[in-house]
Structure formats: C-alpha cells, structure tokens
C-alpha cells in the first residue's frame, strides 16, 4: 500500500500535513481531496522552489487552502543545519537531513543550509485529520514537538522510518506513538500487519551510505499509525484492503 492510497482510503475533511513535502508528490493530491486544508513543510530551498512551481502548474496559483512552510519541524524551536549529500555532482535531495551530516561517508560531498526549526504544536493547528511524515531520521523529534496536536486531533499517520537514517528508529518511533495511544502497522504481501511483526534485521537492511543502493527484499520503510480508539472501526470498514 502506498502512502497516498492509505490517506485516500481514510480521508476525513480537515487539516492534512505533508511533512517533508519535497516537490509535492503528496501535497498536490492532498489538495484535491474534498474538504482538505493542506500544510506542506519543506526546508530545502531547491525542493521548495519546485513545490511552488508544481502547485502553480497544477492549480494556476498557490491555492488558498494550501499553506507552505519553509521551516523544518522538530522537538524545540531554533535553528539547525540541513545537510544535503552530493554524489558525483548530483545533489541527493531525498537524503537531506537535519539529524545527520554524512561526514563519515567519503563517497559524497555535502551542501549545508541553515534552516529555522519550529514545533508543530507552535502552529496551534486544530482538526488535523492526517499526517504524512518523512524527515530522514528526525521523525522522533518531529513527533515530540507534535504531542499536543496528536493528542487533541487524533490524525492518522503514515511515516517513513529507516534504520539507515537513524539506528533504532523502527523501535523508538513506534514506541513513542504507542505511548500516545496509536496502533502501528506495515503493509506486506498484500496485507496489513501489526508492527509487532516487523523485523528490521530481515525486512529493512540497507547501507547508510548514499552511494550504496543495495537493499533487502523486502525493504519495508513505510509504516501506518491509527488512533487506537478508532483503529478497529477503520480496519473493519474494509477501506484498507488491497482493492481500496
């Protein structure tokens, strides 16, 4: 199941967050969902420029119901260095991170951008119904800064969590969300499985070096979280079946 399929299946009108929006792969379809008010977060300047251009191409303008944020999200407010690895002269934008600096990888050079960091809770958003999160190792800090939003709004979440970006993250991020009353799942072999069945040692093996592309089969890195009080009804609805 792709992240977009998950969010379309469980869509509820309200505020949808695309954290790590890049060039709008989810921001744009989120903006097409009925009753949506979308916030896209992208601190990398080159990606933000393409995100704006993509919205203009799709809608003819930046729609009134789409708000873009050039800040990174974290556990506390301040500044951070966003490091972008460059491989053979090509920036690897999908690896841009505020949680690591790639200094141990001689295969890449690096670009560094100073970015502002805010917490999600500082925005005082209400009626948040869905969150997509891809922060290249900073997922835990983003969620720490979103505790009030998660507790009050109870959105569904899709999160990309990878050990190659942060060792222990496939354990620590689900544990944080479990403490906030969320049930975690992953999609494999055309079925949704409880996250307790995920084994990083066999289901997610890859190098932290941007120059090394080999990965395990399967390589599972997208995880889905449902508020525990809503999970049974959402699962029973059948909307998360393969044909959904």
Q: Please indicate, yes or no, if residue 244 is contained in any of the structural domains.
A: no
Domain that holds residue 212: 3-236
Q: How far apart are CA 31 and CA 9, in angstroms?
A: 15
**Residue 15: which CATH number?**
3.40.50.150
Q: Please indicate, yes or no, if residue 243 is contained in any of the structural domains.
A: no
What integer pLDDT is reported at residue 244 of this predicted model?
Answer: 41
Question: Is this prediction's pTM over 0.85?
Answer: yes
121-179 pLDDT, tens per residue? 999 999 999 999 999 999 999 999 999 999 999 999 999 999 999 999 999 999 999 99
Q: How far apart are CA 8 and CA 72, in angstroms?
A: 25
Q: How far apart are CA 144 and CA 221, in angstroms?
A: 20
Angle at 52 between CA 122 and CA 32, to 5 degrees: 80
Residue 70 token pair: 């050039």
Tally of domains within the chain: 1
């Amino acid at each position: 199941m792709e992240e977009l399929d998950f969010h379309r299946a469980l869509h509820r009108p309200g505020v949808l967050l695309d954290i790590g929006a890049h060039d709008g792969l989810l921001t744009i379809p989120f903006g097409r969902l009925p009753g949506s008010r979308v916030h896209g977060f992208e601190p990398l300047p080159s990606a933000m420029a393409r995100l704006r251009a993509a919205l203009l191409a799709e809608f003819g303008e930046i729609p009134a119901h789409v708000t873009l944020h050039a800040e990174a999200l974290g556990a506390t407010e301040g500044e951070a260095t966003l490091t972008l690895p460059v491989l053979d002269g090509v920036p690897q934008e999908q690896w841009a991170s505020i949680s690591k600096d790639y200094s141990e990888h001689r295969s890449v050079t690096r670009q560094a951008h100073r970015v502002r960091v805010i917490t999600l809770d500082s925005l005082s958003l209400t009626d948040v119904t869905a969150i997509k999160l891809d922060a290249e190792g900073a997922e835990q800090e983003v969620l720490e800064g979103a505790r009030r939003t998660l507790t009050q709004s109870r959105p569904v979440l899709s999160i990309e969590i990878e050990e190659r970006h942060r060792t222990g993250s496939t354990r620590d991020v689900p544990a944080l969300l479990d403490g906030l009353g969320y049930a975690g799942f992953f999609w494999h072999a055309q079925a949704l499985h409880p996250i307790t069945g995920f084994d990083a040692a066999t289901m997610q093996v890859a190098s932290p070096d941007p120059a090394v592309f080999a990965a395990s089969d399967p390589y599972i890195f997208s995880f889905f979280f449902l508020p525990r009080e809503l999970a049974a009804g959402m699962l029973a609805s059948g909307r998360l079946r393969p044909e959904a």
